[in-house]
Amino acid sequence: MVTIHIDNQSYQVEAGANLLQACLSLGLDLPYFCWHPALGAVGACRQCAVKQFKDENDSRGRIVMACLTPAQEGLRISIADPEAHAFRAGVIEFLMENHPHDCPVCDEGGECHLQDMTVMTGHVHRRYRFAKRTFRNQYLGPFLNHEMNRCITCYRCVRFYRDYAGGRDLNAMASHNHVYFGRIEDGVLENEFSGNLAEVCPTGVFTDKTFKAHYTRKWDLQTAPSICVHCGVGCNTLPGERYGTLRRIQNRYHHEVNGYFLCDRGRYGHGFVNSEKRLRQPLLRTEGSETVAPVSPTEALAHLAALCAGPTVIGIGSPRASVEANFALQKLVGPERFFNGMSASDAGLTRLILDILTRRPVRSPSLHDMEQADAVLVLGEDVTNTAPRIALSLRQAVRRAALEIAGARHVPLWHDGAVRDAAQSAKSPLFVATHSATRLDDVAAETWHAAPDDLARLGFAVAHVLNPDAPEVPGLDAETAALAGRIALSLSAAGRPLVVSGTGCGSPAVIRAAANVAMALGRTGQPAELCLVAPECNSFGAALLGGEGIDAALLALERGEAETAIVLENDLYRRADRAAIDRALQAAKHLVVIDHLGHATAAQAELVLPAATFAESSGTLVSSEGRAQRFFKVFAGNGEARESWRWLEEAQRAAGRGNGFDGLDDVIAACAAAHPKLQGIAHAAPSAKFRLLGEKIPRQPHRYSGRTAMLGGINPDWSVAILPLPHTTPHGLQPVADRSPLGRAGEGRGEGVPLIDTSAKGNVPHPNPSPARGRGANERPQINIHEQKPPNDPDTPLAFSMEGYGGAAPAALIPVYWAPSWNSVQALNRFQDEVGGPLRGGDPGVRLIEPGADWIWFSEIPAAFQRRADEWLIVPLYHIFGSEELSPQAPAVAERCPRPYLAMNPADADALGLKAGDQADLRLPEGALRLPVELRGDIAPGMAGLPAGLEGTAGIGLPGWGKIDRETRP
Amino acid sequence: MNAILNSLRTMGLIFLHAFRKRATILYPEKKPYIPPRWRGRIVLTRDPDGGERCVACYLCAVACPVDCIALQATEDGQGRRYPEFFRINFSRCIFCGYCEEACPTYAIQLTPDFEMCEYDRRALVYEKEDLLIAGPGKHPGYNFYRVAGLAIAGKDKGEAENEAPPVDVRGLMP
């Protein structure tokens, strides 16, 4: 620690720290643009100017950029110095020369860093009288809107997109005041993290396009802390709601997990919450009827209670439902009749992973830990498409070598430009061994594409080289042995090696091999880090509750061992063979489905109960790090949808054997008591009883508007507020004031006059034309203008209100990032003790999984992959957009989803006489598919790739053997 | 004696008042003069060329101290923003005029009309159709989109006031 003097006040800061970061950490207001805690400093914008003095006698000083100045003992600066202040005001004035007069129609308005900084420097009047420079915008795909006129050339976008996220198709072009940030031509931004540009851009050049479609200002959004449900990483998110629909998702900072960035699936996949496929009413199929009819919740619960009283009820849980929902189901049916709802393969793999992570001496790293790794082996997992945020962290891990070089030359690590100059293209070793090419291959030291069994053999071989105690791979070919040697050399030389694998290639051997490598690395020191990617957001939570996979449940139904099945937030058809499910559901007497989306399983159900999505319920999810994290209700929800555990508890109450679950905390307490491994979930976030100065924490910002008018015209039906209103003049009031000097005179009450003045010059048609005649007051829909009581929330310490404790909330409960004079996302600085560090009071969540000490090598080494004469090994190819169940329900994500195809090695295709684009017949045990062929050199001969989880390919057990033929004309 | 004279004088003065000009008027038969800047019934105005002025920026709503304005922004296909619905609950409105002050496009204006009585409180909830008038109100010449950088139908990039034509990013000239 060193002492620095800012405006004659002494402060203690870290030696060598970035001065701007130090000032912000101290809570001082110093404007900046180009610096970003995760991107470092380049000194591009000249906005953070301060005056530096030699000593206390120096009265002249010199202006320096705080973001490029390291904090040294005795450093003496002034932020308030008039010259420094004038310099900053001048910079803003220059930046604003060309900034358009757009704030009212700009999506960034109200949460704009440029607005904040302009106000902070005191610039109010544009003195420059010449023309403003303009640009044409580009189409950048369904996620981002481009409005280049607003650019202040801080270079943050390209520094994030190219330097941090590894994108290639966004660049800075042209020169001087023509600098243009965009693509070479219009087109979809390719990078999986492009959505972060909306948050990284300090002004409105890049804004969220899906949000624009139903735009709401930040101050009008009701927000609550949440967790992403679209993969197993468990990124923290901040969803925002207005008028009963979910409007957008923004990143919620978590130092250990997602930091400042989300992937595009997490940011844009939330559209399923507003989907037309949402179930909003309990539906009951009367005996012998083909159709279902809406019933009241009471009737539905009575029916469910009657079914539960029947002889054998099994419960099929879900890895995408919360721990609490799964536990309530387990409680209802009993542990021995509870199935965790995963496919047979996923259930086995997840159990294996949990076994490894809890009993073997390997540690599951957080994303932040992964970024510190200086050598990485990725074995069999296409992380960019299965757990995208991990790929972004691995890209940072690759930069460790660059940071080391810079460190050796005494370049401060936050000095991004200098670090990149010093290190050039130096990269830490990243080895990617997968069954097909991945998006990380461009930064990999070596890539290897082979069949899952061969990947496993490579892993076992690496482990054996690292530690001769590990079992040797019999019959290893020279090429693989050499590669294993090189990988082992790099990993053993590293100070903090990391192994990444997961359920992606569906092979237990690959996971065991990865575990062997990690154990071989950890022998001498601490447990080595092994990241095993879970397939879904709560795979670990569901698995920790115990229970078999879905195959066992289907078997029980088919054999008649169970009569009634309760399926919780799960579409069975995505998890097993269609025929097997059909057989089981035929055999089942009663099928109850509790879910939020209508799907094939729900269509067969006798009783459907509408569940609340993550945005309308609170609960706990266990990420693939083993971290239990709480998500909170963002809004109360519409229709009869309610938390799954509430339905189950109410059904049990209707049957007279309730568990006494009145709130979420009761479920959590019971769950923690019943499952010692899940004991930690109670500490994932403060309980519902938590109060600050006796008050709850408000979900609505203090500027929340429209409170007394938003309900005014809203029907009890949830959707009315966002549908176009009837174009009427309901009062019969004349819309034109007849006595005022305003507008044109109308004729008299009760008549209504044309609202569009067609005689006006230009005659621009009104975008939302209203008909000429109004309706009478008695025709107005029945409305209630009384302000309603905000919904009660017994489950959390957050309130559906703008009233409550306005100060700093604990990290797990922060509903919005805002601080006086900091309206943009950068207000986050005010919630961290040290900018870029953990949130004040510690990052939320509890790690449930810690390393064990069972030093037992896995020795089940598979034989090398042998191609078959007339069959191909069909491996799953994952797609960030499409392979997951819920996100394709969002229209923007659906636009990016691929159509099913068959990827083959060109040589194999040639042998079959197939060319790219030809239709091929793929015959699998599950059935036949006709697919267009794509030629992919990265798929080994004897294998073929099929996109996983798409409509048409979901439910197929991959990898598996299949026959491929040329299209046979029927 | 003095007291009697005083009383008579007072009566006389009062009697003289009968011939003075009346301060009261016979409302509602006779309408009072209301100054143009009176803060009465709120209207939404139009551009000089007839387009809706409101760009749904939500500033009136957030400025409103009684939270009686609710709206939802939407956009026509060509970049022009407008409110999908715009609602003022006049049973809550206190006619403070903050909305007018906050409005960056002169769309929302208060007018010299105070006669808004209703027998049914629900009739005091005005929708956009009730609020929109045909003219530009107090600021006849102003058109927000003529000064904004956004391209809309009929106004491309570089065609707004004080704007240079769009930069040719592929040009090599300095």
What is the CATH classification number for the domain harbouring A950? 2.40.40.20
Contacts of B107 in chain A (CB under 8 A): none
Query: What whole-number distance in Å separates Cα of residue A350 and Cα of residue A344?
Result: 10
Q: What rounded mean pLDDT belongs to chain A?
A: 89
Percent of residues, chain A, with pLDDT higher than 70: 92
pLDDT of A783? 62
Q: Which domain holds residue A328?
A: 283-339+562-619+638-683
Q: Which residue has the tokens 């059909």?
A: A582
Cis peptide before A311 (omega within 30 of 0): no
Tell whether A528 and A583 lie within a shared domain: no
Dihedral in degrees, nearest 10, Cα atoms A119, A121, A122, A123? -90
Q: Which residue has the tokens 């051997």?
A: A509
Residue A753: pLDDT band (50, 70, 90) is very low
Q: Which among B48, B111, B149 has the least Cβ separation from residue A742?
A: B111
Cis peptide before A959 (omega within 30 of 0): yes
CATH code of the domain containing A13: 3.10.20.740
Residue with the larger pLDDT of the pair A669 and A854: A669
CATH code of the domain containing A570: 3.40.50.740
Tell whether A401 and A360 lie within a shared domain: yes
Contacts of B98 in chain A (CB under 8 A): none
Query: What whole-number distance in Å separates Cα of residue A569 and Cα of residue A567?
Result: 7
Q: Which among B50, B76, B166 has the least Cβ separation from residue A763?
A: B50
A737, pLDDT greater than 90: no
Query: What whole-number distance in Å separates Cα of residue A99 and Cα of residue A132?
Result: 7
Look at residue A78 and tell me if it is in a domain: yes
Q: Which among B80, B132, B169 has the least Cβ separation from residue A178?
A: B169
Per-residue pLDDT, averaged over A402-424, amounts to: 94
For residue B106 the two structure tokens come to 């002169």
A756, pLDDT greater than 80: no
Residue A264: pLDDT band (50, 70, 90) is very high
Q: Which among B41, B150, B164 has the least Cβ separation from residue A133?
A: B164
Question: A267-281, A743-757, B41-55: which has the minimum mean pLDDT?
Answer: A743-757
Per-residue pLDDT, averaged over A175-181, amounts to: 91
Tell whether A320 and A411 lie within a shared domain: no
- Kindly list the distances between the CA atom of residue A751 and the CA atoms of A649, A780, B28, B33, in Å, as whole numbers in the listed order: 56, 16, 21, 25
Backbone angles phi, psi at A448, to 5 degrees: -145, 125
> Is A83 in contact with B59 (CB distance < 8 Å)?
no
A370, pLDDT greater than 90: yes
Beta strands in A747-823 (DSSP E): 798-799
Tell me whether residues B125 and A785 touch, CB distance under 8 A. yes
Per-residue pLDDT, averaged over A918-928, amounts to: 91
Per-residue pLDDT, averaged over A906-911, amounts to: 93
Tell me whether residues B52 and A134 touch, CB distance under 8 A. no
Tell whether A312 and A396 lie within a shared domain: no
Residue A523: pLDDT band (50, 70, 90) is low
Residue B120: pLDDT band (50, 70, 90) is confident
Q: Which of A213, A181, A207 is nearest to A195 (CA)?
A: A207
Alpha-helical runs (H) found in A452-565: 452-466, 478-493, 508-522, 539-544, 550-558
Tell whether A332 and A358 lie within a shared domain: no
Contacts of A704 in chain B (CB under 8 A): 67
CATH code of the domain containing A438: 3.40.228.10
Which residues lie across from A607 on neighbouring strands? A284, A592
Counting other chains too, the contacts that A821-824 makes at CB distance below 8 Å and 24 or more residues apart are A821/A29, A821/A116, A821/A119, A821/A120, A822/A116, A823/A110, A823/A111, A823/A112, A823/A115, A823/A116, A823/A218, A824/A108, A824/A111, A824/A112, A824/A113, A824/A115, A824/A116, A824/A202
Tell whether A494 and A580 lie within a shared domain: no
**Interface contacts A/B by beta carbons within 8 Å:** 252
Instruction: For chain A, report the end-to-end CA distance as a whole number of angstroms.
Output: 79
Taking domain B24-147, whether its CATH number is 3.40.1130.10 is answered by no
Residue A178 forms contact with B (CB below 8 Å): yes
pLDDT of A744? 32
Q: Which residue has the tokens 């022998």?
A: A523
Tell me whether residues A766 and B51 touch, CB distance under 8 A. yes
For residue B56 the two structure tokens come to 């749904």
- Kindly list the distances between the CA atom of residue A862 and the CA atoms of A483, A501, A511, A513, A859, in Å, as whole numbers in the listed order: 18, 17, 12, 10, 9
Residue A286: pLDDT band (50, 70, 90) is confident
Contacts of B162 in chain A (CB under 8 A): 129-132
The residues spanned by each domain of chain B are 24-147
Q: Which of A540, A529, A522 is nearest to A367 (CA)?
A: A529
Which residues lie across from A292 on neighbouring strands? A285
Contacts of B44 in chain A (CB under 8 A): none
Q: Which among B62, B87, B150 has the least Cβ separation from residue A102?
A: B150
Tell whether A325 and A354 lie within a shared domain: no
* ipTM score: 0.89
- Smallest CA–CA distance, residue A725 to chain B, in Å, is 7
- Smallest CA–CA distance, residue B65 to chain A, in Å, is 9
Question: A19-33, A334-348, A698-712, A850-864: which has the minimum mean pLDDT?
Answer: A698-712
Tell me the pLDDT tens digit for each residue of A616-632: 999 999 999 999 999 99
CA atoms within 13 A on the CB side of B109: 29
Question: A600-609, A751-760, B20-29: which has the minimum mean pLDDT?
Answer: A751-760
A711, pLDDT greater than 90: no
B22, pLDDT greater than 90: no
Chain A residue with minimum CA distance to B60:
A705
Of the residues A535, A553, A586, the one at which a domain ends: A535
Tell me whether residues B169 and A180 touch, CB distance under 8 A. yes
Q: Are strands A375-379 and A497-502 parallel, antiparallel or unpaired?
A: parallel
Contacts of A818 in chain B (CB under 8 A): none
**Domains in chain A, number:** 4
Look at residue A203 and tell me if it is in a domain: no
Tell whether A607 and A529 lie within a shared domain: no
Rg (alpha carbons) of chain B, rounded to whole number:
26
- DSSP H or E segment with residue A647: helix A644-654
Residue A274 forms contact with B (CB below 8 Å): no
Question: A37-41, A584-588, A737-741: which has the minimum mean pLDDT?
Answer: A737-741
Percent of residues, chain A, with pLDDT higher than 90: 84
Tell whether A325 and A448 lie within a shared domain: no
A526, pLDDT greater than 80: no
Residue A727 forms contact with B (CB below 8 Å): yes
Alpha-helical runs (H) found in A495-643: 508-522, 539-544, 550-558, 578-587, 600-603
For residue A212 the two structure tokens come to 């624009």
Tell whether A515 and A442 lie within a shared domain: yes
Q: Which among B31, B73, B157 has the least Cβ separation from residue A135?
A: B157
Residue B163: pLDDT band (50, 70, 90) is very high
A351, pLDDT greater than 70: yes
For residue B104 the two structure tokens come to 């960056």
Tell me whether residues A735 and B58 touch, CB distance under 8 A. no
Q: Which among B58, B76, B166 has the least Cβ separation from residue A220?
A: B58
A730, pLDDT greater than 90: no
Residue A742 forms contact with B (CB below 8 Å): yes
A420, pLDDT greater than 60: yes
Look at residue A737 and tell me if it is in a domain: no
> Is A117 in contact with A47 (CB distance < 8 Å)?
yes
Rounded (10°) angle between helices A452-466 and A508-522: 10
Rg (alpha carbons) of chain A, rounded to whole number:
30
pLDDT of A400? 95
Tell whether A603 and A459 lie within a shared domain: no
Beta-carbon contacts of residue A81 (< 8 Å; ≥ 6 apart): A7, A50, A51, A61
A748, pLDDT greater than 60: no
Tell me whether residues A133 and B167 touch, CB distance under 8 A. yes
A13, pLDDT greater than 70: yes
SS3 per residue for A350-373? HHHHHHHHHHCCEECCCHHHHHHC
Interface residue of A785, A801, A818 to substitute, partner B, most B CBs within 10 Å: A785
For residue A723 the two structure tokens come to 């549908």
Tell me whether residues B133 and A105 touch, CB distance under 8 A. no
Which sign does the torsion angle of CA A503, A505, A510, A514 carry? negative
Tell whether A478 and A526 lie within a shared domain: yes
| Side chain identity, residue A399 | R
Q: Which residue has the tokens 């749904």?
A: B56
- Smallest CA–CA distance, residue A949 to chain B, in Å, is 34
A736, pLDDT greater than 60: no
Residue A770: pLDDT band (50, 70, 90) is very low
Per-residue pLDDT, averaged over A155-160, amounts to: 96
Tell me whether residues B70 and A709 touch, CB distance under 8 A. yes
Chain B residue with minimum CA distance to A734:
B130
Rounded (10°) angle between helices A644-654 and A664-674: 90
- Smallest CA–CA distance, residue B123 to chain A, in Å, is 7
A474, pLDDT greater than 70: yes
Tell me whether residues B61 and A216 touch, CB distance under 8 A. no
Which residues lie across from A182 on neighbouring strands? A171
Return the number of other C-beta atoms located less than 10 Å from residue B136's C-beta. Answer: 23
Q: Which among A705, A712, A785 has the least Cβ separation from residue B58?
A: A705
- Kindly list the distances between the CA atom of residue A511 and the CA atoms of A450, A458, A653, B41, in Å, as whole numbers in the listed order: 15, 12, 43, 71
